[in-house]
Amino acid sequence: RKDYEIRFLNTCQVSLMANSLINHSTNLTLGQQLKLTARLSWPAMMAQLSSIMMQYIDAAMVGRLGADDSASVGLVSTSLWLFWGICSAVTMGFSVQVAHSIGAGEHERARRILRQAITSCLIFSVAVAVTGACIAGQLPHWLGGDAAVCPKASLYFLVFVLALPLLTMNYLGGGMLRCAGNMKVPGGLNVMMCVLDVIFNFVLIFPTRPIEIAGIGFTMPGAGLGVLGAALGTVSAEIVTAGAMMWYLCFRQDGLAIGREHGSFRPVRDVLRKALKVSAPMTLEHAVICGAQIAVTVIVAPLGVMAIAANAFAVTAESICYMPGYGIGDAATTLVGQSYGAKRLDLARRFGYITVVLGMVTMTVMGIVLYIFAPWVMEMMSPVGEIVDLGVRSLRIEAFAEPMFAASIVAYGVMIGVGDTIMPAAMNFGSIWLVRLPLAALLAPTMGLAGVWTAMCIELMFRGAIFLWRLLSGAWLRKGL
């Protein structure tokens, strides 16, 4: 879900600055191009950092419960990403239309679309939640979990899917505020959500226990709910944030406040059609990628509880490495897209090359940091020695793929910027399903979890290579809109 929100944050907030320079500067220097790329990338990276820190917090707290509890969360986490992403993609279909309306100065139309978005997203998310609740009991068994893990995994999954309608309002509220040019409120509320997540998890996960801080001892009350407490804590933090986000959007945000006026919340065909046109490709792409992640979980599950937990923690730990890549990729989409729209194809090509090189350099540095600090990161997430050892080995394998992973991420953003979507989507699909999954299935029985991550490393290098080839060939410019 965060990929959709952050991509839209960049496009809506800073594209006016880029547009002015691209259209009115006859010759942008390399320094100006680098500065523009950095200014566009920074907000996205900061937004992703808050989301990743929340994942780190959850992983570290659940990791203190033991291997079985950690594995129960890791088993269903990829499936939850699928459900979250679908609901987030639907909200983006309406946010795009609101951004266009605000850009045209049509605030009344923007408010009409917002009202229809609330209704449509609630109906859709309720349907998704019901679907998730129906499969919650069997999902961990389908994924290959053992008897010690499945009950808690089912409960964890059920709590999140039942809360999807309210969580969807959080996605919708944040996306709409960003489209209206308001970065501060969503950013501040996301920080608040991280703080609340820590507090709620601290109280709900662990039992009442003695604690000593700075030499002062006291009794810390706790519910002792374990995995259920982790789900309830995170969901509670998101619900509070959703309430604050929607209140500000509906009552305080200039141009979009609908709380003090009367209007219909009934969706109309034209708005729904345009929302579907935007959301459907995003949903399909997300489903394909999450489907591959779920398939990897099925491959990892027979390796045992320790492997499931280590894989989940390693995936979370690695996310901080590709955070800059997605930020720079979002900047690439905006810069290349606006250059292409201004018919400055040479500038579009230069921005493509600059952003890809910048992404590769940045993620290479992050890969080196990951390799060095992998033991410390895994120890922060779990006290279990075997989980830490498996996770460290996996992260150090993956560190070698970060430069080429960056190439695929940023080059994808470059190609999306000109409207070249079909071939990049096919390249992502083919690389994951035809390279990663067969290799993982082949290597896992003999190499264990290291085999799965070796397959991932090889696939990411392959994917980066084919994206670089397409970028350098210039075919993406010829296939643009």
pLDDT tens, residue by residue, 466-475: 999 999 998 8
What is d(CA 470, CA 466) in angstroms, rounded to the nearest whole number? 6
Q: What is the pLDDT of residues 305-338, one digit of tens each?
A: 899 888 888 988 888 888 888 878 877 877 787 7
Between residues 371 and 282, the one the model is more confident about: 371
What's the average model confidence in pLDDT over 39-44?
64
**What angle in degrees, to the nearest 10, is found between the helix axes of 449-473 and 385-399?**
20
| Structure tokens belonging to residue 71 | 């594995």
Phi, psi angle pair for 211, to nearest 5°: -135, 145
Share of the chain above pLDDT 90, in %: 33
pLDDT at res. 25: 53
What is d(CA 326, CA 41) in angstroms, rounded to the nearest whole number? 8
pLDDT at res. 47: 59
**Per-residue pLDDT band at 104 (split at 50, 70, 90):** low
| Structure tokens belonging to residue 171 | 């996605």
Nearest to 232 by CA among 169, 163, 165, 149: 163
What is d(CA 386, CA 366) in angstroms, rounded to the nearest whole number? 25
What's the average model confidence in pLDDT over 280-286?
74
The partner residues of 207 in beta bridges, in order of sequence, read 223
| 6 pLDDT above the threshold of 50 | no
- Secondary structure in 3-state letters for 415-453: HHHHCCCHHHHHHHHHHHHHHHHHHHHHHHHHHCHHHHH
Hey, CA dihedral for 381, 383, 384, 388, is it positive or negative? positive
What is d(CA 143, CA 150) in angstroms, rounded to the nearest whole number? 9
- pTM listed for this prediction: 0.73
Radius of gyration of the chain (CA): 22
What's the average model confidence in pLDDT over 371-400?
91
Q: What is the pLDDT of residues 113-142, one digit of tens each?
A: 999 999 999 999 999 999 999 999 999 999
Q: Which letter does DSSP use for residue 211 in this model?
A: E
